[in-house]
Amino acid sequence: MARSSLFGGFVLVGIVSTLCNLGSRYLFQRFSSYELALVGANTVGVLSAYLLNRWFVFKPGDTSMPSELARFTLINLAGITISWLTSVLLYRHAFPALGFAWHPDLVAHAVGIAVPVIPNYWAHRHWTFARR
């Protein structure tokens, strides 16, 4: 598969896993704080992204599925950290200071998800699903 097709597939999977992430946050937030709901939602997003990427975007690499999932999780832990910090800083601090009131939780969460897309793609392509 060509690089542009790989990246396009990665982005499409990202959109689907983002919808899983955003939707599950609304469910989790009914029972917990925004911050804890983000953690649960990111877990749902990472698992859906791994499975969809493995099935539809990247051919399985030379490592076992548990090893791939461990690599995928490590990369996404960094991405989740950046996403969580971005979302919380926007939602709790930047948006109130700016008077931004149009679905600030959703916008902050979506921006937070978008921030690590390019580095995650590069890391997954060259490490998680790498063919040796």
pLDDT in tens, 19-74: 999 999 999 999 999 999 999 998 899 899 999 998 999 877 778 888 888 998 89
Per-residue confidence (pLDDT) for residue 34, from 0 to 100: 94
Residue 103: CB atoms within 10 A of its CB come to: 11
Confidence of residue 131 (pLDDT cuts 50, 70, 90): confident
Per-residue confidence (pLDDT) for residue 3, from 0 to 100: 65
Per-residue confidence (pLDDT) for residue 63, from 0 to 100: 80
Q: How large a percentage of the chain has pLDDT more than 90?
A: 58
By CB atoms closer than 10 A (0-12, 13-18, 19+), residue 16 is: middle
* Cα angle for residues 73, 77, 82 (degrees, 5° grid): 150
| pLDDT > 60? residue 121 | yes
Q: What is the mean pLDDT of residues 98-105?
A: 97
Q: What is the mean pLDDT of residues 87-98?
A: 98
- Measured CA to CA in angstroms, residue 111 lies from 27, 89, 108, 115 at distances of 19, 11, 5, 6
Prediction pTM value: 0.76
